[in-house]
Structure 1
Amino acid sequence: MNTADLGLPVDVPSTALFTDQYEFTMLQAAMKAGTAERRSVFEVFTRRLPEGRRYGVVAGTGRVLDAVENFRFDPDVLAFLRERKIVDEETLDWLADYRFSGDIWGYPEGEVYFPGSPIMRVEGTFAESVLLETVILSVLNHDSAIAAAASRMSSAAGERPLIEMGARRTHELAAVAASRAAYLGGFTSTSDLAAGFRYGIPTVGTSAHAFTLLHDRERDAFQAQVKSMGRGTTLLVDTYDVAEAVRTAVEVAGPELGAVRIDSGDLLLVAHRVRQQLDELGATDTRIIVTSDLDEYAIASLAAAPVDAYGVGTQLVTGSGHPTCSMVYKLVARAESTDPTAPLLPVAKKSTGGKTSIGGRKWAARRLDEYGVAEAEVVGTGPVPDALADRQLLVELVKGGDVVARESLDVVRDRHTAARANLPLSATQLSRGEPVIPTEYVNGRSGSLTGS
């Protein structure tokens, strides 16, 4: 099996420097204080969803697992840390042998989440766990933002396919991750060949306006493309006059023309006119693909238009206005001492300004109503109520430092479709609103419930 089918990286560079310097300074200070080896529990969560969003989408888990496996300090990395005097020699010696040996639990990739959901839980010594903070957050914040935008767009598109076309609108490496997240969220293909190579995502693409402008006549461009790619190709028809281009396209390719693409103008009006013209010319099976700065709202506005597919770029790879999910990585429990059997103590940030957290190692479950539809995200510490025992959300991802939960991207994609379908219908509304279900917290000692 091709490793790309499992979302494995094609190459395996060290991820050890995909981090912030203070992770290393905390490590060094904790080593000197004798607290670095205390068992610790970190959790990833967000205090709120981006404004107006009804749910979040967990994406990037597979990439996080790759990053944890490749978090190694090779000689070049250690030399850089030594040259910059970022940490002392004792710490460098410890880093040279670094291998994460703890456990990671998390929401399965593709699942939905809500404020307070413990999306990922990292358990190990403070020293080995704190170093992973930045790389885990950078992956989850980016990929989950893209996947959430993709999910909203795919919901708005209904059964019409979506093409991811944002590679030229973001960093070249972010573009590959964005393609993966978009596919998870419901897109069907990408224009980015690196994403196709690495993750097995279907790739598509034909021509841009430059190809038409290269030729002396639009007809010459169409003839060259059809000769090269066949009658089933997609011809771009808005370089000059759309009506004339459609007429020429059908004359060149015949009624077997695969599709025409419209990339400018009033897409609703133009799509209706092009559909009528194609039908009159006998090209009744020729599809219409629209592009041009689409987002979920523009896609929804075209629901009644005779459009067969959408190509989305800028708005998708920037999270449709929300390029991050504001996830945080917080210490929620730590041992009293370095004794491996020492009990864990809940710890939490209590500062003002809305940045408080809830201490304790948490579980999460989704309560359903009598119709099997989600009605609350329940997060708690201590024993799991019997009624929620079979509705728990966290699964084991890493055990004793070994990845135990690799999944294909198609499995993750199907999971998201099922998770979204299990939410109340209002989840897919594009109007601004609160999270579609509330988050309730269960106190492990009292069993009381409180809303978020």
Structure 2
Amino acid sequence: MEFDIVGPDAIRDGSATDAYFDRTETTLRHAGRNPRVVAEITADQFPDGDYELLAGVKDAAALLEGRDVDVDAIPSGRLFDGGPVMRIEGDYLEFARLETSLLGFLSHASGVGTAALDVRRAAPDSLVLSFGARHVHPSIAAMIERSAVIAGLDGFSHVAAGDVIGREASGTMPHALLICFGRGNQEQAWAAFDEAVEEDVPRVALCDTYSDEIDEVLRAAAALGDDLDSVRLDTTGSRRGNFRHIVREVRWTLDAHGREDVDIFVSGGLGPADLRELGDVADGFGVGGYVSNADPVDFALDIVEVDGEPAAKRGKLTGAKAVYRTADGGHHVGLRDRAGPDDGDALLQPLLRGGEIVEDFDFGLDAAVERAARDAELCAYEPPTSA
């Protein structure tokens, strides 16, 4: 049995497409038509103050590389609000069948990155890890974790994704480890973990498997002594009650027993509202489905010029455009051949020329992280107020 995965060869050769692009290509070739076009990938026509984080540009560039097209793009990690995030110029048949995959690369990664930015901004001073890879198809785990890191999350859980993006995965123990040692034998599980794993792995004891959180936290502190770095509370929602009160009680109890050095890490079904509520009583968070299950950004690819003349379908803005970030954090959209704002920083940068990657376009993960943090501050990005 094979996995239900569309492979990279099908993506690269354009087979990973919607059927109507096959028919479009057949029709245009039959008619002898292949106009030179400008196409733009856009979510919103005009700025509305609802910023989103762009991700997925590296994969989009890999798809377009080798095609006879010129491409400009906003680099991953920048916030956008209306207007194009990518502009493609070339003969239409050179890239027509790639639209489906291009939109998928940008839409999904940007949705995940934006959700990750929500939780990052909700707990700016806390350790926040991405724990959601188990909620998605394993073939896209690296995209999930890269997008989360771009948004500023401090780490992630998926080992193979770490191999792909060049970062080491984080994580210590699941409830399954405690259960394998049996009820009442939590100390054996914690001690075995301490003895077995590498010294540089933090000693984080999961403390809510069989009994009250306070009971297990004190037992873990006694079992591991000074080796204990943190305790993790992953209490199922049906047993939480007032979770903030539980976390505060754990903190109080640890402090009362002279263990101010032990941090508290919480996870399980958390979103931005939870991080705001718990940010002053917990030291770190693992966030899963809110990030990994994020809705994709609703990008569309539209032709806006044909053979040098403005052209767009009804409801879309005609003509090639430019987008700018101003010093006050504003986002501005204008026609490419007109002057932009006096203090505007052009967001679209040369990505490919004649199908070749422009040498100074920065795909680096660290650079994308820096861009996201800078833009989030400049644009005063705020996460949703509800969970």
The two structures have a TM-score, normalised by structure 2, of 0.89
1:113 aligns with: 80
Q: Relative to 1, partners in 2 of residues 1:197 and 1:376: Cα closer, same or farther, differing over 3 Å? A: closer
* Residue 397, structure 1, aligned to residue 363, structure 2: no
Q: How does 1:191-210 map to 2 (within 5 A)?
A: 191-210=157-176
How many percent identity over aligned positions? Answer: 25
The two structures have a TM-score, normalised by structure 1, of 0.77
* Residue 269, structure 1, aligned to residue 245, structure 2: yes
The answer to whether the Cα contact below 8 Å between 2:36 and 2:90 also exists between their aligned partners in 1 is: yes
The answer to whether the Cα contact below 8 Å between 1:141 and 1:324 also exists between their aligned partners in 2 is: yes
**AA matched with 2:284:** A
**AA matched with 2:135:** R
Give distance in 2, aligned partners of 1:46 and 1:153.
22
1:60 aligns with: 56
SS in 1 for 2:342: helix
Q: Relative to 1, partners in 2 of residues 1:430 and 1:235: Cα closer, same or farther, differing over 3 Å? A: same
* Residue 331, structure 1, aligned to residue 307, structure 2: no
Q: 2:335 aligns with which of 348, 359, 380?
A: 380
C-alpha distance after superposition, 1:13-59 (max 9, x if no partner):
452222112112111111121212x211110001279xx98311111
* Residue 129, structure 1, aligned to residue 95, structure 2: yes
2:3 aligns with: none
Give distance in 2, aligned partners of 1:367 and 1:408.
24
**AA matched with 2:55:** A
The answer to whether the Cα contact below 8 Å between 2:272 and 2:385 also exists between their aligned partners in 1 is: no
**AA matched with 1:409:** L
SS in 1 for 2:39: strand
Q: CA deviation at 1:63?
A: 1.5
Q: 2:218 aligns with which of 232, 247, 261?
A: 247
**AA matched with 1:56:** E
Give distance in 1, aligned partners of 2:123 and 2:219.
29
What is the aligned-residue RMSD (CA, Å)? 2.1
SS in 2 for 1:255: helix
Which range moves more in the overlay, 228-237 or 288-297?
228-237
**AA matched with 1:35:** R
The answer to whether the Cα contact below 8 Å between 2:323 and 2:331 also exists between their aligned partners in 1 is: no
Aligned residues: 366
Q: How does 1:11-410 map to 2 (within 5 A)?
A: 13-15=9-11, 16-36=14-34, 38-47=35-44, 54-69=50-65, 99-115=66-82, 117-216=83-182, 217-229=185-197, 232-241=202-211, 242-264=213-235, 265=240, 266-305=242-281, 307-319=282-294, 323-335=295-307, 344-350=308-314, 356-368=315-327, 373-385=328-340, 387=342, 391-404=345-358, 405-410=361-366
User: Structure 1: which 5+ residue stretches go unaligned?
Assistant: 1-10, 70-98, 336-343, 351-355, 433-452
**AA matched with 1:421:** E
Give distance in 1, aligned partners of 2:351 and 2:144.
22
**AA matched with 1:256:** D
User: Structure 2: which 5+ residue stretches go unaligned?
Assistant: 1-6
SS in 1 for 2:298: coil
Q: CA deviation at 1:429?
A: 5.2
The answer to whether the Cα contact below 8 Å between 1:57 and 1:147 also exists between their aligned partners in 2 is: yes
Q: Relative to 1, partners in 2 of residues 1:329 and 1:159: Cα closer, same or farther, differing over 3 Å? A: same
